[in-house]
Amino acid sequence: MLNDAAKAERLLKRMTLTEKIGQTVQFGRCEAQEIEWIKQGKIGSLLNVYGAEKINELQRIAVEESRLGIPLLIGDDVIHGFRTIFPIPLGEAASWDVEAMERNARIAAAEAASEGIRWTFAPMVDMTREPRWGRIAEGAGEDVYLANQAAAARVRGFQSPDENGYPTVAACVKHFAGYGWVEGGRDYDTTDMSERVLRETVLPPFYEGIQAGALSVMTAFTDLNGVPASGNKFLIREILKGEWNYPGIVVSDWESVEELIHHGYAEDRKDAACKGFAAGVDMDMHSGVYLEHLERIFQERPDMLPLLDDAVLRILTVKYRLGLFDHPYVDVRKRERVMMIPEHVEQARDSARKSIVLLKNSGNTLPLDLGARKRIGLIGPLADDRQNAMGCWAWKGRKEDVVTVLDAFRSRIAPLAEVTYAKGSEVKQPLERGLEEAVAAARDSDVAVVVVGESEDMTGEHYNRVYIGLPECQERLIRAIKRHTATPVVVVLMSGRPLAVEWVHEHADAVVEAWHPGTQAGNALVDVLIGEYNPSGKLPVTFPRSTGQIPIYYNRKNTGRPHLYEDYVDVSDEPLYPFGYGLSYTTFEYADLRLDARQVARDGSVKVSANVTNTGERDGEEVVQLYIRDVVGSTTRPVKELKGFQKICLKQGETKRISFTLTPNELGMLDERLQFAVEPGKFLVWIGPNSGEGLQGEFTVMDTKEREGDGLQRH
């Protein structure tokens, strides 16, 4: 039996030049002209077409009316859910629950596939240290190790097998590469970085997603070190297809091949098509430059024809891999069996509450005490907002499916306590009499829960912010409540990025980061606020005190004067909340750090362990984090690097011994020649609850293949 690649090669031999080029063409619309091109074999893929019936008809045209009957590959941006909306990816990362990320992607894929979508342009795996950038919401935060785990999990989830054993949808790791490094957080702007940063920080999540089997890669809009990513041979042909031997599809982002002209890298549309294709972009998304110009280019440059065969083989192989030749149509009854079914809704709720991070809880303000008919004020522009609760990239989500915070308060808290609601302000502007009503509601309550943050159009693609605090009208709302009442205040932040909210931290009694939680926003938040779920989220990104601290991230390098690090004269050097930080309604104690070796060979490993005890009065979950530092190297190293984590559940009073094994993969680095090496010398190691705390030990990597020492170190 022929494998998918062999089937693709056999089909390739039957194709005309026009039909080959057609497979490299994707359009984001489907009107009369596109339908005619489908019949002529001039389009191989579509996006932005919806509905099983419509997609079945388009597939029928491709399969029955084109000469070779090659099915279409239908794509869409299924980012954090299809109809059932999960937390934004940054929120998912805050759960540090890799299995949940995979389940969420599997559910999103199943719902999308039931409508005929077989290709998602996700996951976004761009590393960034720039919270002003709107698309930070789509990634896993600032850390390479956590981003690697998230990338692989999401690819596995999207490509989990369907009922016929084919990947449910094809995943697409994007945007290759460096898009998260845009200057000033301005989307589409230039990126400039050393090859060291590229290889140590930016590329690893792409590699992990590809190792997990990702069937496609999307190029970036931006340039990288002077060469646009969608025309960058070094990125695509040398690294991706050369060093990594990647066999899947490389697709451009929307019109990014044509945009080589605007970058000043291509003279016109024909030149853009030539340079994009020569660089290794197999499929042009929507600009039409391949359709218009590739045939002429190949006539003039027959030496490029092998590149065309390679591109078409990749595309056809993925179509075979997805089973599109055997099953081009979708059963229109399938969506009834998978769309927004109770299991999916419950997973959305569980994922959302796991993503919530408790940032402050003075005097045990939380969980809310609902006894003796307590009075609770619910205030804020996002307390009863269906659209914004879903966040960016939730186009298939429906407002009527969303449970708002007010919905959940009325259904679950109102029977036990008196609830008073006041909107207070709009998201971006004051509301007439809003402050007065909010202050009155807070004054008449035993506790005020104020739900504030960002709307969906303040985060996501091209929604960048120069100031990442709360909108002025919202901070004024909180200040008014604190100034004119003595009521304890719980501030709930719904956002697509870390927010600089130092005043809120200093004056609120409790602060909760809920991100944009998705369809089950209200129920998930109430689960946490009333203590039915003990919060377990940890920050996947550092929260600055001020926008002016950006970039601020935990795995910085020391300066030559570390005692003067940053040395701002008008703000503390420390972040507002460090990477990995998050509180619980219980407490955890770390003790008895042990290493099974004081010295280890360069090709050896060392086991690091510690006891973690739940010392509080509730059962709870804790994300135990492992960090290392290579103290002296041939190149400077970060002060800390995350190299492992485990999310554990501990009953009240329970102790577990948590172990990690550091292998050459974790201990190695890129040396001065950018070659991977484990260098001899002293290493520090920490096990703790976040990047700023933990038990510290040390060991030495010896310049020998023989392990030495007495084998045990206790702290």
| Residues known to be catalytic | 253
Neighbours of 319 (CB within 10 A): 28
Are β-strands 713-714 and 588-595 bridged in parallel, bridged antiparallel, or unpaired?
Answer: antiparallel
Question: 685 pairs with which residues across the strands?
Answer: 628, 697
- Number of neighbouring beta carbons within 10 Å of residue 153: 26
DSSP-based three-state secondary structure for 454? coil
Residue ranges of alpha helices (H) inside 446-549 are 472-484, 502-507, 521-529
Sign of CA dihedral 520, 526, 528, 529: positive
> For the purposes of burial, counting CB atoms within 10 Å of the CB of 619, is it exposed (0-12), middle (13-18) or buried (19 or more)?
middle
Give the other-Cβ count within 10 Å of 703's Cβ: 10
Q: CA 63 → CA 9, 71, 120, 228, 318, distances in Å?
A: 19, 6, 22, 36, 17
What would the two tokens of residue 582 be? Answer: 């998050």
Task: Specify the 3-state DSSP secondary structure of 470.
Answer: coil
CA distance 702 to 185: 42
Do residues 328 and 116 lie in contact, with contact meaning Cβ atoms separated by under 8 Å?
no
Residue 543's DSSP bridge partners are 577
| Two tokens, residue 497 | 């990025």
Task: Give the separation between CA 140 and CA 156, rounded to whole angstroms.
Answer: 16
Reading phi first (left if > 0) and then psi (alpha if -120 to 50, else beta), residue 594 is in beta
Distance CA(193)–CA(173), nearest Å, equals 20
Residue type, 561: R
DSSP, collapsed to helix, strand or coil, labels residue 230 as helix
Q: What CA–CA distances, in Å, run from 681 to 342, 357, 633?
A: 54, 37, 8
Q: Specify the amino acid at residue 189.
A: D
Where does residue 433 fall: left (phi above 0), alpha (psi -120 to 50 degrees), or beta otherwise?
Answer: left
Are 482 and 503 in contact, with CB atoms under 8 Å apart?
no
